[in-house]
Amino acid sequence: MGVTRPPAERAALRAWVRLLQAHKTVLGCVREELSGEVTLPRFDLLSNLDREDGQTLAQLSRRMLVTAGNLTGLVDRAERDGLVERRADPDDRRATRVHLTRLGKKLYAEAAARHSRRIAGRFEALEPAELEELARLLDKLLGKEPAR
Amino acid sequence: MGVTRPPAERAALRAWVRLLQAHKTVLGCVREELSGEVTLPRFDLLSNLDREDGQTLAQLSRRMLVTAGNLTGLVDRAERDGLVERRADPDDRRATRVHLTRLGKKLYAEAAARHSRRIAGRFEALEPAELEELARLLDKLLGKEPAR
DNA sequence: TATTGTTATACTCTATAACTATA
DNA sequence: TATAGTTATAGAGTATAACAATA
The minimum CA-CA distance between B91 and chain A, rounded to whole Å, is 26
The minimum CA-CA distance between A135 and chain B, rounded to whole Å, is 5
DSSP annotation of A147 reads P
CA B119 to chain centre: 13
Closest CA to B17 of A56, A79, A147: A147
For residue A24, list its beta bridge partners: none
Task: State residue A38's pLDDT score.
Answer: 84
Task: State residue B6's pLDDT score.
Answer: 83
pLDDT at A117 over 80: yes
| Chain B residues 47-66 with a CB less than 8 Å from chain A | 50-51, 65
Dihedral of the alpha carbons of A107, A24, B13, A100, in degrees to the nearest 10: -30
Per-residue pLDDT tens over the stretch A30-87: 777 766 678 889 999 999 999 999 999 999 999 999 999 999 999 999 999 999 999 9
Give per-10-residue mean pLDDT for chain B (148 aa).
74 89 84 74 94 97 94 96 96 97 93 87 94 96 70
Contacts of B112 in chain A (CB under 8 A): 3
